[in-house]
Amino acid sequence: MVLVAVRYGGADGPDLEEVSERLGLTAGDVVRLHRDRRYTVLATGFAPGFVYLGPLHRRLRLPRRASPRRVVLAGSVAIAEAQTGIYGAAGAGGWWLIGRTEEPTFDPGRRPPTRFEIGDLLAFDGGL
């Protein structure tokens, strides 16, 4: 199992407050429910190094944002539907950004270029 350090909220997780309001939870509850779970890498793709993880705790499930962002920073940790994910490269995205990690999931100079493979286990560590 790989433990990934995350900074939740603030500039690193600009949607955390709105997510907590929509779900009727405190920001701390969202972080706790997200962090205190082990995830399986379900798929990689859509963008270089993007990691789809699941299952997301049922109390954290929201549909994708109505309007995607044009730019999401690499390392952004996000949620949508029944999954959480890590953006491996900067690009557009429509998931709710709740945190960010400095640990790269994609390095084109590395072989293989992605850090995670389908079936890997991952957990998040961090707080507000």
- pLDDT, tens digit (0-9, with 9 covering 90-100), for 2-36: 999 999 999 999 999 999 999 999 999 999 999 99
Q: Which residue has the tokens 């730019």?
A: 71
pTM as predicted: 0.94
Q: How far apart are CA 47 and CA 7, in angstroms?
A: 22
List 53's β-bridge partners, or say none: 41, 84
Parts of the chain with a pLDDT under 70: none
Query: Quick one: which of 20, 65, 60 has its CA closest to 39?
Result: 60
pLDDT of residue 62: 97
pLDDT of residue 110: 86
Q: How far apart are CA 91 and CA 87, in angstroms?
A: 8
pLDDT of 115: 86
Question: Residue ranges per domain, the chain?
Answer: 2-127
pLDDT attached to residue 118: 94
Classify domain 2-127 by CATH architecture. Answer: Beta Barrel (2.40)
